[in-house]
Amino acid sequence: MNQKTYSTMMSRRRVMSLVGAAAGTGVAVAATLRSASAHTSGMERRDERRDDRGERRDDRQQDRSDRRNPTQSQNPQPSSSTPAPPKQ
């Protein structure tokens, strides 16, 4: 028990650099864990439903466009190389 213990003072600069390093490490670990999440069967089902909703939404949008402009989407007119005669 004859050992002497010395307490050393830490400067604010040293403490703040340690706190900054710890915070940076915490952010890096959190980002790694978030991106490396495991896909469960529930997550896969959710992704499939999301994809299906997107396809249905696209189909509805196309149907609306077809109803609004029936000649453009169903019977496109071929362009002729000769101009039409002028109207009198």
Domain that holds residue 41: 12-69
Residue 13 CB contacts under 8 Å (≥ 6 apart), including other chains: none
Dihedral sign (CA 58, 63, 66, 69): negative
Residue 73 CB contacts under 8 Å (≥ 6 apart), including other chains: 65, 66
Q: Could you read off the pLDDT of 29-50 as tens digits, one per residue?
A: 777 766 656 678 888 899 999 9
In a domain, 55, yes or no: yes
How big is the CA angle at 70 (ends 68 and 72), to the nearest 5 degrees?
A: 105
In a domain, 85, yes or no: no
Q: Could you read off the pLDDT of 55-68 as tens digits, one per residue?
A: 999 999 999 999 99
Q: What is the pTM of this model?
A: 0.36
In a domain, 80, yes or no: no
Least confident of 9-18, 19-28, 57-66, 79-88: 79-88
